[in-house]
Structure 1
Amino acid sequence: MEIWPAIDLRHGKPVRLRQGDYEQQTTFGDDPVEFAQKWQAAGAKCLHLVDLDAARGDDPAPNRAAVRRIVEATGLPCQMGGGVRDQETIEALIEAGVARLVVGSRALKDPNWFTQMCDAFPGKLAAGIDARNGLVATQGWLETSEVTAIELAKTLREQTANIAAIIYTDIAKDGMMQGPNFEGLAEMAAATDIPLVASGGVTTYEDVQKLVEMKMPAAIIGRSLYDGVMDLQRVLEIAQP
């Protein structure tokens, strides 16, 4: 199972939010490159980056600069989400060296556009499906739709073979250190053959082991690494024996 350590960016700095709430932010220093290199030294083979400013329509420039520095400093494949809603942004981030982009809100609101982009950039785009009580949330988790996560996944699969993955996050679990929504992940895995990335709430070594036993292709881990609840080297030993 691939492990993607998360680096969430706001104003160019590494932060974490609780349940996507911008009012519940913890800032971890000034330089996200330090964390990127720390995770690389621990054995990380890839990184998951999030532009929290772009996700809600704020200026993405400071985070874009940070992303470029992370890519240049580590050389690791980086997956990035947050505010990826048009072709210009896709092209700019790929040019900056990002290996894979996560499209959230617009994949729900305009699945035809998303599948066109998947076909134009095959293997470069993943759908970020963030769910609150099973319903897809959009606009940096500020809005909740009437579409279920599974319905969206099935629609996307029907429309394109070039989608790289689904990043599935249960918002209620994100940053809460209470474990992921295993039931929701199992339902999503059963509903589609798109490679699934577990995100939100992966907190203990037991969580990692259970995801391995579920044959989850990949998992994103954030807060538990920053808080020292889990050691990345040990996580990788479990995930990639």
Structure 2
Amino acid sequence: MQIWPAIDLRHGKPVRLRQGDYDQQTTFGDDPVEFARQWQQAGAECLHLVDLDAARGDDPTANREAVRRIVEATGLPCQMGGGVRDEETIEALIDVGVARLVVGSRACRDPQWFTSMCDAHPGKLAAGIDARDGLVATQGWLETSDVRAIDLAKRLREATSNIAAIVYTDIARDGMMQGPNFEGLAEMAAATDIPLVASGGVTTYEDVEKLVAMNMPAAIIGRSLYDGVMDLRQVLKIASTPSL
């Protein structure tokens, strides 16, 4: 199972939010490159970046320099989400060196546009499906739609074969250190053959073991690494163990 250590960016600094609440922010130092190098030294082979400013509709370029520095400093494939809502942003971030982009809100609101972008940039775009009670949340988790997460996944697969992955996050679990929503992940995995990336609430080594046992292709891990609850080296060791 592939492990994507997360670096959430706000005003160019690495932070974490509780349940996507911008009023519940913890800042982890001033330089996100330090965290990127730390994860790389621990064995990370890829990184997951989130632009929290762009996600809520603020300046979409506020964190772009930080992203460029992370890509150049590590040379690792970086996946990035947050505020990716138009082709100009997609092309700008690909030019910066981001390997894969996660499109959330607009993929929900305008699946036809998203699948056309997947076809224009094969293997470069993943759908970020963030759910609250099984329904898709958009606009930096500030709004909840009436679209079921698994229905959106099915619709996207029917429309294109060029989608890279689905990054599935249960908002109620994100940043809460309570473990992922395994039931929701299993339902999503059963609904589509698009590669699934588990995100939100992966907190313990047992969580990682269970995801491996579920044959989950990849997982994003954030706060538990920052807080020292898990050691990335041990996580990577578990993730590299073949499932039975």
Alignment map for 1:63-78 (pairs within 5 Å): 63-78=63-78
- After TM superposition, give the deviation of residue 227 of structure 1 in Å: 0.1
Look up the equivalent residue of 2:229 and give its one-letter code: V
1:181-196, aligned counterparts within 5 Å? 181-196=181-196
Q: 2 CA distance for matches of 1:204 and 1:31? A: 26
Q: Who is 1:135 aligned against?
A: 135
The 3-state SS of whatever aligns with 1:212 is helix
Aligned position for 1:171: 171
Mapping 1:83-162, distance limit 5 Å: 83-162=83-162
Specify the alignment match of 2:236 in structure 1.
236
Alignment gaps of 5+ in structure 2 = none
Mapped partners of 2:167, 2:137: distance in 1: 13
Moved over 6 A (4+): none
For 1:15, what is the secondary structure of its paired residue? Answer: strand
Distance in 2 of aligned mates of 1:16 and 1:4: 15
| Residue of structure 2 in register with 1:22 after alignment | 22
Q: Which moved more, 1:175-184 or 1:59-68?
A: 59-68
Cα distance in 2 for residues equivalent to 1:240 and 1:91 = 33
The alpha-carbon deviation at position 59 of structure 1 amounts to 1.0
The aligned counterpart of 1:55 is 55
| CA contact 2:53–2:62 (8 Å) conserved in 1 | no
Q: Secondary structure at the match of 2:186?
A: helix
Q: How many residue pairs end up in the alignment?
A: 241
- Distance, in Å, in 1 between the alignment partners of 2:128 and 2:62 is 22
Cα distance in 2 between the residues matched to 1:60 and 1:24: 21
Distance in 2 (CA, whole Å) between partners of 1:212 and 1:56 is 33
Q: 2:90, 2:112 → 1: CA distance?
A: 16
Q: CA deviation at 1:60?
A: 2.7
Are 2:38 and 1:10 aligned? no
TM-score (normalizing by structure 1):
1.00
Q: What's the secondary structure of 1:179's corresponding residue?
A: coil
Q: 2-side partners of 1:216 and 1:181: how far apart?
A: 13
Deviation at 1:37, TM superposition (A): 0.1
CA deviations on 1:112-157 (whole Å, 9 max, x unpaired) are 0000000000000000000000000000000000000000000000
- Please give the alpha-carbon distance, in whole angstroms, between the structure 2 residues aligned to 1:69 and 1:58: 21
The residue number in structure 2 matching 1:44 is 44
Give the CA RMSD over aligned residues. Answer: 0.4
What's the TM-score, normalizing by structure 2? 0.98
SS at match of 1:151: helix
Percent pairwise identity: 86
Structure 1: 5+ residue runs without aligned partners?
Answer: none
